[in-house]
Structure 1
Amino acid sequence: MNALLGELTRFSVMAKTPCWRLLAFLVLMATRAQASKNTEKCKLVHESNSERKVLSFLEPLTNQTFTAHTKEGEDEYTYMFQVCGDADGVKDAGMVQRDQNGKHVLIGNYSLTQAVRGSDWVMLIYLGGEKYHGHCSQEQRRAIIMISCDRTKAAGQLSVVLEDRERVTNCFYLFELDSSAVCPIIESKLSTGSILLIAGFSFLAVYLIIGFLYQRLVVGAKGVEQFPNYGFWSEIGNLSADGCDFVCRSRGSREEPPTYRGVPAEPIEEPEERDDHLLPM
């Protein structure tokens, strides 16, 4: 339970998801915690925390029976597989083979389990099956189930790949199964710019929706006046132009006194015309 709370806290702080997603995550983790008791039925050949952790990825596949059918000449066989459960009701049988007459052959025993995990697959091995009669030095049968990642399928169809019994030892049955349970978790990594853009667009959407509803339902505006702060936004172009004009243009006089070689020009005083001589004496 402490581990569950720890993962929930880490998830909520780092991902910052909405409350309903946190609730869904909590339900999922609680379901997995409860389902982990099913994988405890598998007894590992060599008990280890690493293999036990691998088995935990297969928890969504427990309590299900997967079947596959093959035909060899006139003989037909049905294979039944369960993750840490009794296949076809046979005690301790993880994988069984049944012929058309209903006879069972134990292929693998989940009380002798091995589990290996790769980047997007899990290999489950059941040992301790019935002994061969005339093959493989009469050793016990074993089943290898390759469970590969497929995000489109919670649990796919079990298929028989081959039965390799032409060896002297280490013969095996190989099966394949696709499931999203073994897929790696895709971590969402958003940059600071992406987070700011998402926050900005979210704020803008809330502003527009609430402002529109207020203008329409409370103020009773119609047409384009329903747009929040319509007066301000309609003048935004003029205000921007005024601001640019204020910043980029000088308000002082642009006239400069004509100068030549550093000598300032002074206003030339025209000689005053004397017209006293025109007056009658």
Structure 2
Amino acid sequence: MAILLAWRGLMFLVLLAGGGQASDNTKKCNLTAENPSERKVLSLLEPLTNQNFTAPTTSGEKYTYIFQVCGDADGMKDAGVVQKSVDGKQVPIGRYNSTQVYGGNDWVMLIYKGGETYDGHCSQEERRAIIMISCNRNTLAGQLSVVLENRDRNKECFYLFELDSSAVCPVIPSKLSAGSILLIVAFCCLAVYLIGGFLYQRLVVGAKGVEQFPNYAFWSEIGNLSADGCDFVCRSRGSRDEPPTYRGVPTEPVEEPEERDDHLLPM
């Protein structure tokens, strides 16, 4: 059980580090000039897809603006930005099937063309919307705001919107080395193993005392074997009991036996 919990914890960390499988909702946008660099910039906006961003109306205004990244804003087919009046009328001012995108170090400019034509402005050309998305690490998606509606010109009129998001922020390089990351993963797995094993032994098995330690018999046997090996390699206790095989020369002079030949002298 404890091993299973540790394995699940490891898999969770791997998925967390990998960030999961990225979707490809931004591919719904048709670029006016398809090229890999623009597509790569557009892919940065993937976390912002499948959600509407609404610019709040202020006093005196009669329109609300709804924006969606590569999706139907306010449910309107092919419309990336919709102007909605107080009576509910929807006017597409930019379509995501005619998209341009530019990117910098900490910003992305998304342009939707092909909106509904003006009635009496800008030589009755098609409307277009420019959404300036700037880096803000404190929020995934801030409040959409209307910066400018430029229609007092003959051509190339536009609506300008602004949105803050952490999705376009540059990636901060990790200061951790590969060895440090492996150690963190190892310690996390060890913590999952110990905590999960402790809870299993205590709550399921009903163990008490040191028996609550997961796989206590296995680890205690490992400890005993390690101690025996250390004792065998590092200690020389067995050689002290053997009798010495070498006897040193005595330092005191050896006494010569006294010759007793007095009986040979004449009396």
TM-score (norm 2): 0.61
Counterpart position of 1:152? 138
1:93 aligns with 2:51: no
Alpha-carbon distance between aligned partners in 2 of 1:181 and 1:157, rounded to the nearest angstrom? 14
Paired residues, number = 178
What is residue 130 of structure 1 aligned with on the other side?
116
The one of 23, 28, 45 aligned to 2:32: 45
Note the C-alpha offset of 1:39.
1.0
Counterpart position of 2:231: none
Cα displacement string for residues 23-55 of structure 1 (whole angstroms, at most 9, x for unaligned residues): 3022x241x2xx21x111110101111111111
Alignment partner, residue 129 of structure 2: 143
C-alpha separation in 2, matches of 1:61 and 1:20: 24
Match of 2:90 among 85, 89, 104: 104
CA contact (8 A) 1:120 1:149 kept: yes
Counterpart among 187, 204, 207 of residue 173 in structure 2: 187
Summarize deviations over 1:215-256 as a string: whole Å, max 9, x none: xx8xxxxxxxxxxxxxxxxxxxxxxxxxxxxxxxxxxxxxxx
TM-score normalized by structure 1? 0.58
C-alpha distance in structure 2 between counterparts of 1:85 and 1:103, whole Å = 19
Determine the C-alpha separation between the residues in 2 that align with 1:58 and 1:164.
Answer: 25
Residue identity (%): 64
- Match for residue 55 of structure 2 among 68, 71, 74: 68
Q: Please name the residue that 2:17 is paired with.
A: 25
Equivalent position of 2:149 in the other structure: 163
User: Could you tell me how far 1:189 is from its partner in structure 2?
Assistant: 3.7
- Measure how far apart 1:21 and its partner are: 4.3
Equivalent-residue separation in structure 2 for 1:126 and 1:186 (angstroms): 30
Cα distance in 2 between the residues matched to 1:172 and 1:155: 23
| Equivalent pair of 1:69/1:77 in contact (CA under 8 Å) | no
In structure 1, give the amino acid aligned to 2:66.
M
1:57 alignment partner in structure 2: 44
